[in-house]
Amino acid sequence: MRFPRSSGTLVHPTSFPSKYGMGDLGNEAKEFINFLSETGQTIWQVLPLAPTGYGNSPYASYSAFAGNHYLISLDLLVEKGFLKPEEVQEAELPIKTKAEYEKSYERKNPLYKKAFERFSEKKSGDQKKRLKEFENDNSFWLDDYCLFMACSEHNDRKPWNQWDKDLAQRKPAALKKAKKEFSDDIALHKWLQFEFFEQWYVLKEYANTKNIRVIGDIPIFVDHNSADVWGHPEYFEVDEQGNRMLVAGVPPDYFSATGQLWGNPLYKWSSLEKDNFSWWVERFRQMFNLFDAIRVDHFRGFDEYWQVDASEKTAENGEWISAPGHKLFNTIKDELGELPIIAEDLGLMTPGVIEMRDAFNFPGMKILQFAFDSDSSNSFLPHNYPQNCVTYTGTHDNDTSIGWYNSAPDIEKHRVREYAKSDGSEIEWDLIRLGMLSVADQAIFPLQDFMSLDASHRMNVPGTVGDNWLWRYTPDMLDRVDNDKIYNLVKMGNRLPGEE
């Protein structure tokens, strides 16, 4: 599927300047959408919106289908009459440039519970109807997810394969007992999902009315400690006790000398194929409901994936295994129609994965920070772009452009200055200009680059744990962005809506 010539910004909702320790789907999100509209941009790209597990990574989630209920806006719950202004004031935290997740969770949890109780007491006929429709529309995953979350909370968040054996292995009697025992918690989680999706769809509609498309992100793999693996162990490389046998990662590359050992259980593709890829069809259906388009992370993994034994400590010792990508995407297309997909095709791409990407006409990604480590044949240089691609200065896995330039080898600094005819003093704007004026159908830039921020504002360093996914901006930081400068570049690049 070809996308119109356009431009946009990459920023995750957790980065918005909410008053409650982390960004959410409230008014600050609308203010950001207004910024996009005022600057002529028509794309908002986000990271996965799923509930985060260990390390608060949106790529390590308790579910491939659910939403992160901590993104539910307390202010919007006040507007709906489920909370009182003085109640949410007690949950306020200073707005900083790093999220305070744990403090935020601790303060939000009792308020969410209180809001649910009031919803249950006051819900109108229309609200009951919408809740019932939501439960029916999401029956594929919702019951398993809510039961999983309730069981996890009552097992001190231990991985599901460390729960009681009968519950871990989903014995009918154990499931029946847990559903009865944890019925209140299950009901709360169902409402949290309902409210998350209600708030998200209102926000997405607001963006769409301003001619802004929202691009989501679908990680290829799911977390071991998730409702997906617990609910469908037949689709994953786990043993009868639920322990991982074969796990995902990538071999040594640009980001890591020992590769990246992600630890996600690999798929049993033969089992998935026997079911006509129903799990994947439902997953993509969910994503296409949530977003106008999606970026498929680690696209190569659908052609071949790096298989590592679960006992390994790094990703160095593994092997490439073929995956049924063509069959999968053909099945999804047959079931769901046109596929508005961007392929994350970074790293070493084989002829097979390139052929698969092009067979479905998926645009690939071009990262400007990768363009200056070799000669003029580098495929990330704008003069080598195909039209059907998306250009970025960097992604959530890269440094900010200023951070990249400051730490780059001298030869790369020289090449980018020569290429951009620049002295390097505003390298972030040099790269943005290169992307805006390139032939790429889409040009998308991390908000940090529009804000001219240094390496201390980086979102993620792949292969590391501890200080990632925290970045936020404060209201004054968005106010200081040069909107006219962005608008003029969008216009110069023929990327304004309706100018294609």
Cα distance between residue 211 and residue 36, in whole Å: 10
With H, G, I as helix, E, B as strand and everything else as coil, classify residue 246.
Answer: strand
Rounded Cα distance, 476 and 262, in Å:
37
Q: Which of 24, 28, 228, 397 is catalytic?
A: 397
Q: If phi over 0 gives left and psi between -120 and 50 gives alpha, with beta otherwise, what is residue 266?
A: beta
| 399 included as an active-site residue | no
* 237 included as an active-site residue: no
CA distance 215 to 363: 13
* Residue (of 398, 403, 431, 400) closest to 415 by Cα position: 431
CA torsion sign for 77, 79, 83, 85 is positive
Q: Which residues are CB-contacts of 498 (< 8 A; sequence separation ≥ 6)?
A: none
d(CA 211, CA 41): 9
DSSP string spanning 146-175?
Answer: HHHHHHHHTTTT--GGGS-HHHHTT-HHHH
What CA–CA distances, in Å, run from 20 to 25, 145, 146? 12, 26, 25
Q: What does each C-alpha distance from 28 to 13, 101, 259, 266, 307 come to in angstroms? A: 9, 18, 38, 38, 42
Degrees, nearest 5: CA angle 232-238-240: 85
- Classify residue 179 by burial, with Cβ atoms within 10 Å: 0-12, 13-18, 19+: middle
Active-site residue (options: 228, 344, 399, 441) = 344
Catalytic pick from 297, 303, 428, 441?
Answer: 297
CA-CA-CA-CA dihedral for 371, 373, 379, 380, to nearest 10: -10
- Is residue 282 part of the annotated active site? The answer reads no
Active site amino acids: 297, 344, 397
